[in-house]
A and B are shown apart, each in its own frame.
Chain A
Amino acid sequence: MSKFIKDSTYNALVAARDNWNTVAAHVAKSGDGEGLTAETVTPQMVIDALEAESDNAQNAELQAALDRIRVLESEKTSLTEQVANLQGSAGEETAVITSTGEPKGEKENIGSFADKHAGDTASILAEAKKEGLI
């Protein structure tokens, strides 16, 4: 009588069965306390477990990136505040001119203006007009 399946196919099936038993036993063992046995482990459970594992790995990468972003944002906020400080109060303070002399700011009259601009007819007449002299 000829064989029902080929030897090679038989060996492959046996190997597949052994592999599955090994996987199922491993899953049942790692799932202790949850009532799992090698017989109750289904292929779908293995697939779900694998995908869940993959999601966890991705979440870990995303978390690391998120943490990095938070650090950078914090650094950016800090640096922006420093720049604002440099551009604002620090610059204005150095631009202030102070004098220790007595305040004696007399308003320039048309006479002293004309002395400063002696010979500049157009300027003197414009100032005289502005000052209401003519």
Chain B
Amino acid sequence: MPKAVNIDGLSRAAITYNNVLRELPYFKLNEIAKNLRLNIISVQGEDVLISKRRKAGVLRPYSPGLTLGNEQELMKFFEAKLKPELTYAEINENITSYKEKKVISNQGEMLDNKSKKHPLELIILRDLVISYAEDVAFQLFFAERDEAILSPSTAFTGFNPRLDILVAAGEISAAKGNLKTTGTFDVPVDETDTDAYLKLVDFLSSAHPLMRKGECLLYAADKPLKAALKAYTNIVRYHQNPTMEDMLNKLRSDVELPNLQVLRDPILGTGDRLSLMVPGNLDLGVNNEGDAGFVQVRNPYKDPNIVQYWIQAAYDTRVNDVHPKFFMMNEQVNTGVNLAGDY
């Protein structure tokens, strides 16, 4: 007879499988990290990355009797902090909604007790952790920490708000060469409209000569790329019906960036934001260590059927360096698309 799940069983599972549950968020986050070339760093407290900026232009012609003693700066430092901030998930649910089903045969394969690999309690806790991790993943670029509003988008600070702060602080600006105005990338209005592709060429061509020497990553949502493809189709309409890969190959050639990698993911949201940078420039800081269980199962209510799940972990994001040798973006803004979970 299928058994019912009880709070004691869930509590035991949370303890028994604590070391598994604690690692499960990395399963989701690492998928994103692989696709978008992010670093995931376990941080206790805070991690500070200091980038040294050497001043050049110190060379002078010498002549006897020249005036000396001009004060000059030798170097300055750019500091980027990674300080994960605590987030939590609290779910209160009536336990009577859980019923274990008994599968006798799986597509003709008879199942016995040995075939059943994981208890229902572990499956419930796994789903909880995966949902929590997906919430983090889909907010990586958009979340903006606000403790007054309780939602996934206010749980921690994502990459785009970090960049906005640096723009406001003047660390990213047209004058410094790491902010390029492109305008929006719109679908061509007629067969002669090639603006979107040319804007993309113009943006990439503005990259710092030293950044262009190595591998470059372009983070872009679908909209600017699809608009550019339609514009490129207009350019070659008489002899080719190009694919996205055709366009990107031509783009690499046109802007002389043979090692350009274009990274697309639904997590980047929608909009015309373009970010060009060297690999390894984006860090996700995580702190989910602690003496307490990663998932806690409690029954704090009068109703004995109400179970409370509690997860907590700290997250933060960091752009390691925005020097134009390593980074360039445009002025456009993306909007997040929350695809976490099934509803």
Contact = CB atoms under 8 A, between A and B. Distances in A.
A132 interface: yes
B127 to A, nearest CB: 11
A108 to B, nearest CB: 12
Interface stretch (B16-24, B55-63, B301-309, B316-324): B16-24
What does DSSP make chain A's interface, helix, strand, loop or mixed? helix
B19 A115 contact: yes
Interface stretch (A23-31, A34-42, A88-96, A120-128): A120-128
Given A131-B117, A133-B118, A121 B20 contact: no
A114 B26 contact: no
Contacts, number: 45
A132 B123 CA distance: 11
Given A121-B26, A128-B27, A111 B126 contact: no
A64 to B, nearest CB: 73
Nearest to A125: B27
B23 A124 contact: yes
B26 A125 contact: yes
A128 B24 contact: yes
Q: Which of A125, A129, A131 counts the most B-chain CB atoms under 10 A from its CB?
A: A125
Contact of B17 (A110, A118, A129): A110
B118 A110 contact: yes
Contacts of A128: 20, 23-24, 27
Contact of B126 (A114, A124, A129, A133): A133
Nearest to A124: B23
A125 B23 contact: yes
B24 A114 contact: no
Contact of A114 (B17, B27, B30): B17
A126 to B, nearest CB: 10
B122 interface: yes
Interface in B113-127: 117-118, 122, 126
A111 B26 contact: no
Contacts of B30: 125
A124 B117 contact: no
B118 A131 contact: yes
Contacts of B118: 110, 131-133
A128 B16 CA distance: 14
A132 B27 CA distance: 13
B17 A134 contact: no
Contacts of A132: 117-118
Nearest to B15: A111
A115 B19 CA distance: 6
A111 B117 contact: no
Interface string B1-43: 0000000000000001111100110110010000000000000
A130 B17 CA distance: 16
A125 B22 CA distance: 10
A133 B118 CA distance: 7
A124 B122 CA distance: 15
Q: Which of B19, B24, B30, B118 counts the most A-chain CB atoms under 10 A from its CB?
A: B19
A132 B316 CA distance: 30
Interface of B: 16-20, 23-24, 26-27, 30, 117-118, 122, 126, 130
Interface of A: 110-111, 114-115, 117-118, 121, 124-125, 128-129, 131-134
16 contacts: A111-B16, A111-B122, A114-B17, A114-B23, A121-B23, A121-B26, A124-B19, A124-B23, A125-B23, A125-B24, A125-B27, A129-B27, A131-B118, A133-B118, A133-B122, A134-B130
Given A131-B117, A134-B126, 7 more contacts: A110-B17, A110-B118, A110-B122, A114-B23, A124-B23, A125-B23, A128-B23
A-B pairs, top 5 by smallest CB distance, nearest first, are: A114-B19, A114-B20, A111-B17, A111-B16, A124-B23
